[in-house]
Structure 1
Amino acid sequence: MTAAKSTSSSSSQQSSASSSGTSNKPNAKQDEIVKGFHKLRQEQHVLSEKTSDLKSRISEHKSVIAALEKVSKDRKCYRMVDQALVERKVEDVLPELVLMRSNLENSVSVLQQKLEEKGTELVNYKAKFDIRIQGEES
């Protein structure tokens, strides 16, 4: 019977230590591991937000390009450059917009690759330090 009691008491200590630990204060090493994990998650979140923002800008560029392709090349259009509205012709603006869209798409693919790498790094970090998140299945 004592073996069963010691097993259950050690597993309850492990579960309280692996959660945020109200009864046991985490040591400095555990604190560093948790900080590292949070840093990786924050970096992943920033990459995700940047990717989302660029995808939104690509969508805007696509709709403007589609609208300009339907009008005469000699038609005047206005483009915002920094904080100034500049009058140009469609034939001048359209190639620039297509190039910008292409550059944005390239940036999104690079960011998505970095996001995947960060995800892999995060999974490896969790496995290395046996990190378990509450409510997450093993």
Structure 2
Amino acid sequence: MAKVEGDNSKEPINEEAVANMYGAMRADMNQIYSEITELEMEVSEHSLVMNAIEPLDPSRRCYRMIGGVLVERTVKEVLPAVQRNKEGLAEVIARFSEALEKKKKDVMEFEAKYKIRIRKGDGETKDESGKKEGNAQRVLVGPAANESC
């Protein structure tokens, strides 16, 4: 796979270049996954806020953080704004999902073109029950140390 001087195609020069391009594509895909996950968490938070303030009196005082500043509004003013933000986030998630599907397709084509096969890492082991177990750490959360207030 030699590259001819002056050739404007984006063909990699050697295996290392192919691996680097593949790694970059996978990193882009992981970045999109993280963005989608973060936005989905924000949508979930918006839903929680909406569910909490919907049953309240519309004239009730409500506080909202705007650009790092806490402002006083009413429930009637805040609820539509939170709803609009949630809808906007949903649209962004849809666009990111489309970009992710395109990136997945590109990665699959790249894998097929260069006959790339993924090897399983050494970090995985099997326990007696046959389940795969990674090197993840587990956290046990108990009751608060100081329960008396």
| 1:124 lines up with 2:116 in the alignment | no
Q: Sequence identity, in percent? A: 28
**What letter matches 1:95 in structure 2?**
P
Q: How far apart, in 1, do the equivalents of 2:120 and 2:84 lie?
A: 45
| 1:79 lines up with 2:90 in the alignment | no
Q: How far apart, in 2, do the equivalents of 1:127 and 1:58 lie?
A: 36
Structure 2 segments unaligned to the other structure (5+ residues): 1-12, 122-149
Q: How far apart, in 2, do the equivalents of 1:112 and 1:60 lie?
A: 20
Q: Decide which of 72, 91, 95 is 1:110's aligned counterpart.
A: 95
SS of residue paired to 1:63 = helix
**Structure label with greater radius of gyration:** 1
**What letter matches 2:88 in structure 1?**
N
**What letter matches 1:129 in structure 2?**
Y
Structure of greater relative contact order (alpha carbons < 8 Å, 6+ residues apart): 1
Q: Deviations over 1:53-93 (max 9, x none)?
A: 00000000001011111100000010111221111011111
| 1:52 lines up with 2:52 in the alignment | no
**What letter matches 1:110 in structure 2?**
R
Structure 1 segments unaligned to the other structure (5+ residues): 1-27
Poorly superposed stretches of 4+, deviation over 6 Å: none
In the alignment, what sits opposite 1:61? 46
TM-score normalised by length of structure 1: 0.76
How many Å apart are 1:34 and its aligned residue?
0.6
Q: How far apart, in 2, do the equivalents of 1:75 and 1:135 lie?
A: 56
Greater share of residues in helix: 1
**What letter matches 1:112 in structure 2?**
S
Q: Deviations over 1:30-55 (max 9, x none)?
A: 11111110000000000000000000
The count of residues paired between Structure 1 and Structure 2 equals: 109
Q: How far apart, in 2, do the equivalents of 1:127 and 1:115 lie?
A: 18
How many Å apart are 1:135 and its aligned residue?
3.2
| 1:99 lines up with 2:78 in the alignment | no
Q: Decide which of 85, 88, 99 is 2:73's aligned counterpart.
A: 88
